[in-house]
Amino acid sequence: MTMTTEETTAAAVSTTRPRSRNEWTLLSNHGYVLLCIADDPDTRLRDIATRVGITERAVFGIVEDLERGGIIQRIKVGRRNRYLINVDSPLRHEIEAGHSVGDLLGALIVSDHDTVL
């Protein structure tokens, strides 16, 4: 049985899970992947995917985006990858102008020395 474009679109719409207004987050998946890399530069894509809640293939695409954007550098260490973050890389949106990746990470990563109120 062959489906028309309209039937395919209708099927896709009917199978997508409606999002609750309570399910939104402030960061994109790109931000979450970057935070995972900052937390553990030797992390595996599989582990990032589990933490972020996306597929390993999606993480791979995001890592490529971050690398092409000059935000991270991938270094081969044996059979694994190690990621270096360019903290001086400027954030990409005009609203974020004047801030760097390091500023963002500094604001979001809580170290052992930070106090949480």
Encode pLDDT of 38-57 as tens digits: 999 999 999 999 999 999 99
**CA torsion, points 27, 29, 35, 38, in degrees to nearest 10?**
-150
Q: Is the pLDDT of residue 23 over 90?
A: no
Name the residue with higher pLDDT: 60 or 22: 60
Please give the pLDDT value at position 4. 54
Q: Is the pLDDT of residue 105 over 90?
A: yes
| Closest-CA residue to 40 (of 72, 69, 88, 78) | 72
Residue 67: band (very low, low, confident or very high) from pLDDT cuts 50, 70, 90 = very high
Total-model pTM: 0.76
- How would CATH label the architecture of 26-108? Orthogonal Bundle (1.10)
